[in-house]
Amino acid sequence: MYRILLFLFCWLLAVHARAQQSYWQQEVHYTIDVSLNDTTHSLTGFLSLQYINHSPDTLHYIWFHCWPNAFKNDRTAFSEQYLQNGKTDFYFADRDKRGYMNRLDFRVDGTPLKAEDHEQYIDVIKVDLESPLPPGGRLVLTTPFYVQLPYTFARMGHREKSYQVAYWYPRPAVYDRNGWHAMPYLEQGEGFGEFGSFDVRITLPKEYIVAATGELAEHDWKQETRSAQEWQTIADRQKQLINSQSGNKLPPPKWGQKKTGFSRTRPTQIELPTQGLKTLRYRQDRVHDFAWFADKKYIVSQDTVQLASGRTVQAFTYYTPDHKEEWTNSISMLKDAIRFRSALIGEYPYNVVTAVEAPIGFEGGMEYPTITSIAPGFSGKSLDLLIGHEVGHNWFYGILGSNERDHPWMDEGINSYYDKRYEQWKYPEPEKDDWASKRLPADEDRLLLSIMTKPHKDQPISTASADFANLNYHLVAYGKTAFWLQQLESRMGAQRFDSAMRAYYREWQFKHPAPADFQQVMQAHAATDLGGQFELLHTKGDIAPFAGRKKVQPVFMFSLKDPEHVNYINWFPLVGYNMYDKWMAGLLVHNFSLPANKFQFAVAPLYAFSSSQLNGIGTLQYNWWSDNRISKIQLGLSGARFSSLDGIDSSGNKVFGGFYKLAPYLRLHFRNRSARSTVEKWLEWRTFFIGERGFNYVQKQEDQQYYPKEAGWQSRYLNQLSFQLTDYRKLYPYDVQLQVQQGEGFYRASATAHYFMNYASGGGLQVRLFAARFGYLGERTPLKEFTTAVYQPKLTAVRGNEDYTYSNYFLGRNEFEGFGAQQIMMRDGGLKLRTDLFQGLQGRSDNWVAALNLSTNLPETIFPKAFPVRLFLDLGTFAEAWNKDAATSKFLYVGGLQLTLFRELLHVYAPLVYSKEFRDNLKTVPEENKFGKKISFSFDIHRFNLKKLSPYHFPY
Catalytic residues: 390, 478
Distance of alpha carbon 377 from alpha carbon 48, whole angstroms: 39
Omega before 563 cis (within 30°)? no
DSSP state of 475: I
Provide the sign of the torsion angle of the four alpha carbons 322, 326, 329, 333, taken in this order.
Answer: negative
389 is in an annotated binding site: yes
From the number of C-beta atoms within 10 Å of its C-beta (0-12, 13-18, 19+), residue 701 rates as: exposed
Output b/e per residue, 387-406; b: 16+ Cβ within 10 A: bbbbbbbbbbbbbbbbbbbb
Spatial distance between the Cα atoms of 772 and 424, rounded to a whole number of angstroms: 61
Name which of 114, 174, 175, 101 is nearest 141 in CA terms. Answer: 114
Amino acid at 308: A
The residues, any chain, with a CB within 8 Å of residue 853's CB and separated by 6 or more, are: 766, 767, 768, 769, 770, 830, 872, 873, 874, 875
**DSSP letter string over 918-956?**
HHHHHHTSTTTTSHHHH-EEEE-GGG--HHHHSTT----
Strand ranges for 187-232 from DSSP E = 196-205, 209-212, 215-219
Q: What is the DSSP string of 807-827?
A: -S--S-TT--SSGGGGB-B--
754 is in an annotated binding site: no
Q: Does 393 belong to an annotated binding site?
A: yes
Spatial separation of the C-alpha atoms in residues 792 and 773, rounded to whole Å: 9
Helix axes 330-344, 494-508, angle to 10 degrees: 100
Query: Which 8-state DSSP code applies to residue 221?
Result: G
Is-contact 294 149, C-beta < 8 A? Answer: no
- What span, in angstroms and rounded, lies between the C-alpha atoms of 665 and 748? 19
Q: 696: burial class by Cβ within 10 Å (0-12, 13-18, 19+)?
A: exposed
Encode 715-752: b = buried (16+ Cβ within 10 Å), e = exposed.
eeebebebbbebebbbbebbbbeebebbbebbbbbbeb
d(C-alpha 597, C-alpha 567), whole Å: 8
Residue 445, H or E segment: helix 444-453
Paired with 710 in beta bridges are: 695
| Interatomic CA distance for residues 659 and 813, integer angstroms | 11
Dihedral, 297, 303, 309, 311 alpha carbons, nearest 10:
70
Burial (CB < 10 A; 0-12, 13-18, 19+), residue 413, is buried
In contact, 321 and 297? CB cutoff 8 Å? yes
Q: Which helix (H) or strand (E) holds 534?
A: helix 531-535
CB within 8 Å of 516: residues ≥ 6 apart: none
Q: Which amino acid is at 16?
A: H
| Closest of 382, 408, 455, 438 to residue 953, by C-alpha | 455
Binding site for Zn(2+): what residues are annotated? 389, 393, 412
Binding site: what residues are annotated? 389, 393, 412
